Amino acid sequence: MISNREQVTAMILTAKVRKALKWSQVADAIGQSKEWTTAACLGQMTLTKAQADVVGELFDLNDEATAWLQIAPYKGSLPTAVPTDPLIYRLYELVNVYGSTIKELIHEEFGDGIMSAIDFSMDIQREEDPKGDRVHMVMSGKFLPYKTY
């Protein structure tokens, strides 16, 4: 019996390693970006029944696990308040160092509001550089102005 979404994520990661699958292959199979697909398989997004069935087949999941993929997850479920994984910590550090700058520049350009993490897309690519390859990350979220009432 499966009691939470984290168990399904563990099943997916185990099968991914065993089958040597890449997230881009899973994304192609369900017709979504590799970024969204990875987030979904790691338990941060809800899959449709059709998507869950494909993921279930790719990762040899049973019907119960496939059903869990269709339930709205608890999002933002890092195991600690301050991340300990070095890569995730660097993103956390980036927001700590540049967050006020990003906020200031967004407010200057758009006004008072936020960038949506719901109406959102992300693209991560390798950028070749003779001094060492770079991570090229683009995040695009709809601007949502605060309302007055």
Q: Within the chain, which residue ranges are assigned CATH 1.10.260.40?
A: 5-68
Cβ neighbours, 10 Å, residue 26: 22
Q: Is the pTM of this model over 0.85?
A: no
Looking at residue 76, its pLDDT comes to: 80
Confidence of residue 78 (pLDDT cuts 50, 70, 90): confident
The DSSP line for 45-82 is SPPPHHHHHHHHHHTT--HHHHHHTTSPP--S--SSSS
Confidence check: pLDDT of 97 > 90: no
Helices (H), the chain: 5-19, 23-30, 34-41, 49-58, 63-68, 86-110
Right CATH for 5-68 from 3.10.20.30, 1.20.20.10, 3.40.50.720, 1.10.260.40: 1.10.260.40
Which residues have a Cβ under 8 Å from the Cβ of 5 and sit 6 or more positions away? 43, 68, 71, 73, 74
Q: Which residues are catalytic, by number? A: 90, 93, 116
Confidence of residue 147 (pLDDT cuts 50, 70, 90): very high
Q: In the CATH scheme, what is the code of domain 86-145? A: 3.30.1160.10
Q: Within the chain, which residue ranges are assigned CATH 3.30.1160.10?
A: 86-145
